[in-house]
Amino acid sequence: MDFREVIIAQYHAALEMLKETILACPDALWHNPEDRNKFWQVAYHALFYTHLYLQETEEAFQPWSRHREEYKLGQDTAEPPPKALILDYLAFCQNQAATNVPTLVFDAPSGFYWLKFSKFELQFYSIRHIQQHVGELMECLGPHAGEIDWVGSHRAEINNQNPKIQ
């Protein structure tokens, strides 16, 4: 069994579910002034940390070329990023998973001083982090969340099978 292939598939499945929540989000909810944590901020946060945790270390991390520091900090901006920008970051993170997971040294430390476990465990931690925020965003979507299918694995994509499980 190729654990790296499984981890990449689960990153892609979690990110695909995040993508579905973003696509299902009505414009009025994207930057709802009544929300403490805006929909777009939660999505960006999930992607930023996915990107970060796919690096060898905090020091090796290079922000995405279209990153803006106020997005990471969750600062309320007058002009929130458009969905297309967040979806571009999501595609970037999917590529990072496919590119970086094969080169990770799983028995090395996480690479982040605040996470006192191995690089292998970090992968599960990061995927769970994405899924936590997917659940949070699905809750925000209310009735619109019914449009989002469960994605069991994106490994099936490699085998030309349907990756969605109902």
d(C-alpha 154, C-alpha 42), whole Å: 23
3-158: CATH architecture: Up-down Bundle (1.20)
- Cα angle, residue 51 at apex, residues 142 and 143 outer, rounded to 5°: 5
Token pair belonging to 139: 């809750």
The pLDDT tens digits of the residues spanning 81-92 come to: 899 999 999 999
The pLDDT tens digits of the residues spanning 35-63 come to: 888 999 999 999 999 999 999 999 999 98
d(C-alpha 124, C-alpha 74), whole Å: 24
At 150 the pLDDT is: 79
Determine the average pLDDT of the residues in 77-83.
80
Confidence of residue 151 (pLDDT cuts 50, 70, 90): confident
pTM for the structure as a whole? 0.87
Determine the average pLDDT of the residues in 24-44.
90
The C-alpha R_g of the chain, in whole angstroms, comes to 16
Amino acid at 83: K
Quote the mean pLDDT of the chain.
87
DSSP labels, 124-157: HHHHHHHHHHHHHHHHHHGGGGGGPPPB--SHHH
The larger pLDDT score, comparing residue 156 to residue 110, is at 110
User: In this predicted structure, which of 33-37, 75-79, 94-98, 144-148 has the lowest mean pLDDT?
Assistant: 75-79
At 163 the pLDDT is: 44
The larger pLDDT score, comparing residue 55 to residue 166, is at 55
At 158 the pLDDT is: 42
DSSP labels, 16-66: HHHHHHHHH--HHHHT-TT-SS-HHHHHHHHHHHHHHHTSS-TTT----TT
SS3 120: helix
d(C-alpha 75, C-alpha 91), whole Å: 23
At 37 the pLDDT is: 87
